[in-house]
Amino acid sequence: MAVLVGWSGTVEGAAALERGAEEALLRGLPLAVLDLSTRDDSGEAARRAVAELDPAPSSAEVLRRPEQQDPVEALLDAVPGARAQLVVIGTRRRSPVGKFLMGSTAQRIILGSDAPVLVVKAGRQG
């Protein structure tokens, strides 16, 4: 079992990683971080972000999104493989028109996940 974080190189991704690491420590579980960024660096940026966590989880693994796979589908597909007890994602505020036109990524993950989902707002403490 693990805490699975959907990470990207954004402030939302950083907030999710920070909270996911806290949850992994609280639950005594390893941390699995799915790199959803568009960088082609073989997950190096995600590994650096994990290495900078304080306190660091006892064990952490960075997973790469399959090429060309939709980030939402990649995260949902990673849930059973990581045996995720919890999925942690970051979110940002969008206008109602933006949600209507683009849909809500967070909503797709919440509705599609077999594990509970914790949605974290960037810049919020507590």
For residue range 68-81, what is the model confidence (pLDDT) as tens digits? 899 999 999 999 99
Q: Which two tokens stand for residue 58?
A: 């006892």
Q: Is the pLDDT of residue 31 over 90?
A: yes
Q: Where do the domains of the chain lie?
A: 11-121
Fold adopted by 11-121: Rossmann fold (3.40.50)
pLDDT tens for 86-115 read 999 998 766 565 555 445 888 899 999 999
Q: What is the pLDDT of residue 106?
A: 87
The per-residue DSSP string of the chain comes to -EEEEEE-SSHHHHHHHHHHHHHHHHHT--EEEEE--S--STTHHHHHHHHT-SSPPS-EEEEEPPTT--HHHHHHHHHHHHTEEEEEEEE----HHHHHHH--HHHHHHHH-SS-EEEEETT---
Q: What is the pLDDT of residue 105?
A: 86
Q: Which two tokens stand for residue 33?
A: 């971080």
Q: What is the pLDDT of residue 90?
A: 92
Mean pLDDT (the chain, rounded) = 88
pLDDT band at 36 (very low <50, low <70, confident <90, very high): very high
* Torsion angle of the four alpha carbons 49, 74, 77, 13, in this order, in degrees rounded to the nearest 10: 30
Q: Is the pLDDT of residue 59 over 80?
A: yes
